[in-house]
Structure formats: structure tokens, C-alpha cells
Structure 1
């Protein structure tokens, strides 16, 4: 009953930070699990479906842009992971957390730097979080097509920053992030 947890979406300047918690079934190993950033979108999608089908338990949670702006991205990432772990229908014996910070949990937890490539349960959480966040960014693209969220997933690419300059911030932009603050006139050029 070891749970892995990870988040996706700390670096973007819009949208939520999404976390997942996964307890894998040792009797149903899943080949190919790795850090989600090292996998193609197609491979992540296929693995996401397999993880959901074969894991003993999994849950996804998030903090939206407004929460991120209120408490900061690190605290929001940890809160999203805490929510994901607490959304599991059972309490894990231990939680392995990707990174060097721990969310406040009621069960033992260990921070593992690079854990998404070292522990399958963390890698699985990484994949579920990334696939869910990307799915949401496609939905946001439908609402705000002029930002091209489908392409850059709200990361501060040159194209996204140019569109932000041109159109200003939309409701899902993180107002506490420097490029958005600058466009809103909250910091000097």
C-alpha cells in the first residue's frame, strides 16, 4: 500500500496545478512507466488509461489559478498532492513524493528527488497528473482560443508571451506570475 504522488503544471503561467496519487497493484505491473516529461503525448495517454485500469487506487486533485495566486505555486503544488492522497478511498501505509518538499499528510511520507523516474508509483502519478492537466488545457483552449493553450499548455513560450502581450490576461492566467503581472501593469518592464 505504497502511494506515489506528483504534480504537473508548476511552470505554466495559466491554469491549475494538477496532482495525482497512485497505489499500483504489484500483481499487475505496467511496462513503460517513467517521468511523464520523458514520454511522448501518445505514450502518456496510453499509459494513463492502463494505470487507471490496473492500479489498486488512484485519485486526481488540483489547485486552480486563483488558489495558486493566493498561496504561491509551491504551497499549491503540495496542497494539490495532499488533496489527491486524501481522495484515495484507503489510507496508504506510506507516500512517496516526487521532489524535495512534503505535503502535510496524516501518513508517513518521503520526498524523493527525481522520484518519477525511480519509483513506478510516482511515475504513474506523474503521468496521470500530466495527462489530466493537458486535457484541461485543451478545454481552456476552446474557451480562449486566441491564447493557443492547446499548443503550449500555458507554459511561458515565446508565442504564449506574445499572445499574452497582445490580448492581456484571461481569467485562468496566474496573476502572481511575473509575465502576467507585467502585462497587468503590476511591475515595471
Structure 2
């Protein structure tokens, strides 16, 4: 084995997924420091992968239980944008295939923007169906944010190319013709809801970045409509723009 370079061994380790692989036993007795460092790194990566798999399996408990009852198309539904001062509230509904696995999947708020974008691409490619619902700031002002959130979720379900026969919803109950379960912090408890949270978050962030070009004074590409100090200062200086929620404080103070 000593004829193998450190680079060769690193490439070989990248292809190994089992601790029982014969190469692991050989490397354990290789006295080169570089080899031992590679082996330690490999063990850490395997431990991380095992933790990801364990977390994913825990987040599949709702889907597994529901499918054992005979349901096939389970939609996870989540929203983003209830708290901002500007922009729409956006919901997503996602139906995942039975064999879906995405290492590191979690609530979108726990992921970096880069990782959310990466996961968004995978979900959009592999999902059985994805739907989105967008409720504008104007409509939020007309019906209130709670009702607007429900409308966005229902719109996302109706946008699905394949209709669900069961819905898992993050912390809401909807008037829909499907059986449903409302899960508090569902985006951290259900794979389907977590996937929906990522789709909703990425969809809204990209929209707010487009609004930032249209209304550059408010830095929507950085604050996504939330009430940061810079955003509040811009409102004080320039007043509200058309996508600000006029019924939200402090926007209503400037009307």
C-alpha cells in the first residue's frame, strides 16, 4: 500500500462508503501521517453522513405513517414572508417520490443561501409535483396576513400538477378537500414540509432581488423586505414604495 500516494488514497477513499471495506483495514496500519489524517477525515465524513441519514429518517415519520394508511401523494406545504414589511407572502406545496433522499435536508432557515439554491434545484428536478402560491402586499393589506397565508397555501396546492391525497401543513389548518395534519415547526419535522420551505424561500428571495432592481432605495436584495435598520431608514427617507404592506407598522405611520 505504501506504493500508493496520498493523492491516490484520497481518491480511493472518496469511493468507499462502508467501514467494512478491506481498504480501511489496510489504511489503519499504514503509519504515514498523511494517510492517518485522511482516514480520520473519512471517519468524520461517515459520521456526518450517518447523522444526516438519521435526521432524515426521523423527519420521514409522518410520511411513513400516512403512507402505511394507504395514501400515496403526500404534499408538504409551507410559507415564507409573514413577517416582512414589503413583498408578498409565498407558499409552496411539494410532493416527493417514495425513494427521495436529500442529504442535509432541513428547515430552510437552517441552511445557507448556497445550500438552499442547491437543494431547490434537486427538489424541482426530483419532486413528483411542485406548486407555488403568491399573495401580493396589496392583497395582504386587504385580507390580513393570516388570511393571506392561508390563501397562498391553498393556491400552492391548486398549482400542483398532481393533486395530493393527504397534506402535511406547517402550523396551519386549511379548508381543503383533502385530509390534513398541521405540524408545529413542521419544516424541521417533516421532509415534505422542509422541501416546501426551501422552494418557498428560494422563490421569494429571487423575487425580492428582482424588486431590488425596481426599487433600489430599499435594499430588498439584502433584507428581503424585513425591517432591518437600513430598510427602516430608507422608508423614513423615501416613504413606502408600491410593494410595502400599508397596514403594517411602521409603514402605516407614513401613509
TM bracket, shorter-chain basis: over 0.9
CA–CA distance in 2 between the matches of 1:30 and 1:90? 21
Moved segments of 4+, more than 6 Å? none
Q: Which residue of 2 aligns with 1:187?
A: none
Q: Which residue of 1 aligns with 2:190?
A: 119
Q: 1:107 aligns with which of 178, 183, 187?
A: 178
Q: What value does the CA root-mean-square deviation take over the aligned residues?
A: 0.8
Please report how far the alpha carbon of residue 137 of structure 1 lies from its aligned counterpart in structure 2 after TM superposition.
0.4
Q: 2:203 aligns with which of 124, 132, 138?
A: 132
CA–CA distance in 2 between the matches of 1:28 and 1:121? 10
Check conservation: 2:128, 2:162, Cα contact below 8 A.
Answer: no
Q: 2:238 aligns with which of 167, 173, 188?
A: 167
Check conservation: 1:15, 1:65, Cα contact below 8 A.
Answer: yes
Structure in which a larger fraction of residues adopt strand:
1
Partner SS for 2:77: strand
CA–CA distance in 2 between the matches of 1:63 and 1:32? 30
CA–CA distance in 2 between the matches of 1:79 and 1:62? 9
Report which of the two structures shows the higher radius of gyration computed on alpha carbons: 2
Please report how far the alpha carbon of residue 105 of structure 1 lies from its aligned counterpart in structure 2 after TM superposition.
1.0
Q: Which residue of 1 aligns with 2:67?
A: none
Check conservation: 1:91, 1:107, Cα contact below 8 A.
Answer: no
Please report how far the alpha carbon of residue 29 of structure 1 lies from its aligned counterpart in structure 2 after TM superposition.
1.6
- Where do 5+ consecutive residues of structure 1 fail to align? 185-189
Partner SS for 1:58: strand
Q: Which residue of 1 aligns with 2:30?
A: none
TM-score of the superposed pair, with normalisation by structure 2: 0.70
Partner SS for 1:146: helix
1:69 matches 2:141:
yes
Please report how far the alpha carbon of residue 30 of structure 1 lies from its aligned counterpart in structure 2 after TM superposition.
1.8
CA–CA distance in 1 between the matches of 2:192 and 2:78? 9
Check conservation: 1:116, 1:122, Cα contact below 8 A.
Answer: yes
Structure in which a larger fraction of residues adopt helix:
2
